[in-house]
Structure 1
Amino acid sequence: MESLRFESRDLGRTEAFLNRAYTKMQIGSTAPQVSARISRTAADSMSVDRIEIGFEMSYDADPLGKICLCEVDSGTIEEHATDGWEDAFGPGDLVSFAPPDRPYRGKVVRSKYTITMFDPALLTRVAGVSRKGDAPVRLLDHRPHSRAAARQLSQTIAYLGDDVLANPHVQASPVLLASLSQLLAASVLAAFPNTAMAEPGVVDRRDAHPRTVQRALAFMESHLDQGIGIADIATAAGVTVRAVQIAFRTHLGTTPLDHLRRLRLAEVRTELLAADPSEQTVAQVAARWGFHHHGRLAAAYQQAYGELPSATLSRS
């Protein structure tokens, strides 16, 4: 996906743009004046769009093929229908707009809202449904299970759209992009009821032995510079995600992803110690190893090594 900007007072141009940017759709309006403004920040398979529709606009759209989240800032979205349900959304609502494979229709009434889209396969990867024959993870409701969960997801979307996706360091780092996509997918899974919500089974607990940890560690250490996630680690270890999570908690007192971050933090330190301060910055080094939030990086680094990463770089 590429970042984009669009602004028009013409209904035909607006419909043509929406067809190019989203999916095939028909829009309509009897309003005497039309105004539409859209801006997109995007990286890899993720996009965050800020949309302002300044008139009453009906829409009838084909499936998007993506997870599509909608957060309303002002105005309303009414008579929105898809997959057997119909609802209306107002300021503060954050919803899953439509299943990736289902058409949808409705009406925007002078509304400002945010559309966040990403590859639905990310849900399955992050949830760890990796065994052959397992069904892809699906969301079971279009509304989050609590207001607190919705607020947390809203903060994640704002962070991605406002702070990081347009950052050139992010755009140039496959590891960083992978960690951000995992963050977004994990936030969605935490917010919405979904088919991955299941307790560990007997097989998961049986497979949570030290050899699982050893295989997982070997895979992590040989793929630190790649955009691996929990599903990749579990597959390399030959077990389910739940099994590898139980194994790490039982034998190392941590989680696979926390351990992966510690390994990458050590690589940051090694690189900072060898770097030339006149040619490298902490942000550049951190981005190469998947750290996109500099405040959290500094706190974790200081806790691990007793100094800030900038201090390590300045004396290298």
Structure 2
Amino acid sequence: MGSLTFDSDDLEATEEFLCRAYARMSIGSTTPESSRARIRRDAGASVSVDELDLDFEMTYSVAPLGRICLCVVHEGTVRDHVFQGVRDDFGPGDVVMFAPPDLPFAGRIRNARYNITMLDPGLLDQVAAGSGRTLLEPVRLTGHRPHTPAAAERLRQTIIYMRDHVLGDPAAATEPLVVSAGTQLLAASVLAAFPNNAQTDPTAQDRVDAHSATLRRAIAYIDDHAHEPITVADIAAAAHVTVRTLQYAFRRHLDTTPLGYVRQVRLSHAHRDLLAAGPGDDTSVGAIAARWGFPHPGRFASLYRDMYGTSPSHTLRG
């Protein structure tokens, strides 16, 4: 966890670093006059976001990563990228999955600046279950390119947000709620962008169990644990129902989602802290927002204004 950087023109040192950072691999250079590699990694417990800059043509052959590996190309090209059943080339602006977690892959990168984002596959299961989808098996991405250019762009923006405002921001990266919310947002964006095997529809039993007592148990758990990183699965377990039942209960009775309700509760706690801050306190809106899982000040201000009809800075001053 945390940030690290690597800068070397020694190909063997670069290969050693990449093996430690990703998985067992072999690399080579077809441009021996240069082999400079610059890498920055920002990482959490289940997500890492890397920016890589290579000024040479690097061939690679990589063992299975065990993680979902996404690539966003900024400059240069990725050529002859292959894994089981797929051969493709990528260029500037492309957002792709390099390979499923259990498959090796190979190719060559030509003088490229690009992003590699990796995440635990189990995060997709959590998000898919949280959206009310039926999981007959673990979630798999069934295509290596997003559905549409618009879906790819939304995912690219989410990766940038995760890099700049969550993992790459030292203050935000130490806030468990911020990291948890950002990680779930990234996993949801991946699930929305790529074709996958998850299905939808609550069952008849889910509909029967989505009664007011279920909602009361869920709300009590959220109220008691809003200061902690909690998932939809955690809330469902506390309410003694399936995730689909939980989703349906919140939709039926409150016209929102469980995580939407969590956000409302955290906004109310932030509101309370803003009201409690005295004139002499060394307290900022940004610090209170981050404490309750809102790392982006503009987004927090917009949500706060929608809920309370005024700006958080006005509440703090008032």
TM-score, normalization: structure 2? 0.92
- Cα distance in 1 for partners of 2:227, 2:243 equals 21
Alpha carbons 1:63, 1:101 under 8 Å: kept: yes
- Specify the alignment match of 2:205 in structure 1: 203
In the TM superposition, residue 200 of structure 1 has moved relative to its aligned partner by 2.7
**Structure 1 residue 30 displacement after superposition:** 2.9
Please give the alpha-carbon distance, in whole angstroms, between the structure 1 residues aligned to 2:264 and 2:126. 21
Structure 2 distance, partners of 1:167, 1:92, is 24
Distance of 1:79 and 1:99 partners within structure 2: 17
Aligned match for 2:145, one of 140, 143, 153: 143
1:208-263 CA deviation, whole Å, 9 max, x = no partner?
A: 22222122112111111110122222222233322222221111111211111111
**Other-structure match for 2:169:** 167
Q: Give 1:108-123 correspondences, 5 Å limit.
A: 108-123=109-124
Partner of 1:186: 188
Contact 2:2/2:167 (<8 A) preserved? no
Q: State how far apart, in whole Å, the 1-side matches of 2:216 and 2:123 are.
A: 26
**What's 2:29 paired with?**
29
Deviation at 1:273, TM superposition (A): 1.6
Q: Determine the C-alpha separation between the residues in 1 that align with 2:136 and 2:2.
A: 32
Identity rate, percent: 52
1:81 is displaced (CA, Å) by 1.7
Q: CA deviation at 1:168?
A: 2.6
Q: For residue 304 of structure 1, what is the aligned residue in structure 2?
A: 307
Equivalent residues in 2 for 1:88-107 (5 A)? 88-107=89-108
Please give the residue correspondences for 1:219-234 in structure 2 after superposition, counting only pairs within 5 Å: 219-234=221-236
Trace 1:1-316 onto structure 2 (pairs within 5 A): 1-33=1-33, 34-128=35-129, 135-277=137-279, 278-315=281-318
Shift of 1:41: 2.2
Match for 2:287: what amino acid? Q
Q: Tell me, yes or no, if the aligned pair for 1:127 and 1:231 is still in contact at 8 Å.
A: no
Residue 266 of structure 2 contacts residue 292 of structure 2 at CA under 8 Å; is this kept in 1? yes
**Counterparts of 2:121 and 2:278 in 1: how far apart (Å)?**
41
In structure 2, give the amino acid aligned to 1:216: A
Check the 8 A contact 1:124/1:136 in 2, yes or no. Answer: yes
Q: Please say if residues 10 and 35 of structure 1, whose CA atoms lie closer than 8 Å, have aligned partners that are also in contact.
A: yes
SS at match of 1:128: helix
Q: After alignment, is 64-73 or 28-37 more displaced?
A: 28-37
Change (3 A) 1:66 1:191: same
Give me the whole-angstrom Cα distance separating, in 1, the residues matched to 2:245 and 2:79: 44
CA distance in 1, matches of 2:205, 2:142: 25
Deviation of the 1:149 alpha carbon: 0.7
Q: Distance in 1 between matches of 2:156 and 2:227?
A: 29
Equivalent residue letter for 2:69 = C
8 Å CA contact 1:68–1:96 kept in 2: the answer is: yes
**Cα separation, 1, equivalents of 2:87 and 2:45:** 31
Q: Deviations over 1:123-169 (max 9, x none)?
A: 111212799x9532221111111111111001111112123322233
Relative to structure 1, the CA distance from residue 65 to residue 40 in structure 2 (aligned partners, 3 Å threshold; closer, same or farther) is: same
List alignment gaps of at least 5 residues for structure 2: none
Conserved in 2, the CA contact under 8 Å of 1:45 and 1:119?
yes
- Partner SS, residue 88 of structure 1: strand
Mean Cα displacement is larger for which, 107-116 or 304-313? 304-313
TM-score, structure 1 length as denominator?
0.93
Rounded to whole Å, the distance in 2 between the matches of 1:305 and 1:288 is: 19
Mean alpha-carbon deviation: is it higher for 13-22 or for 159-168?
A: 159-168
Q: How many Å separate the matches in 1 of 2:146 and 2:297?
A: 29
Q: Secondary structure at the match of 2:233?
A: helix
What letter matches 1:73 in structure 2?
H
Alpha-carbon distance in 2 for matches of 1:160, 1:99: 22
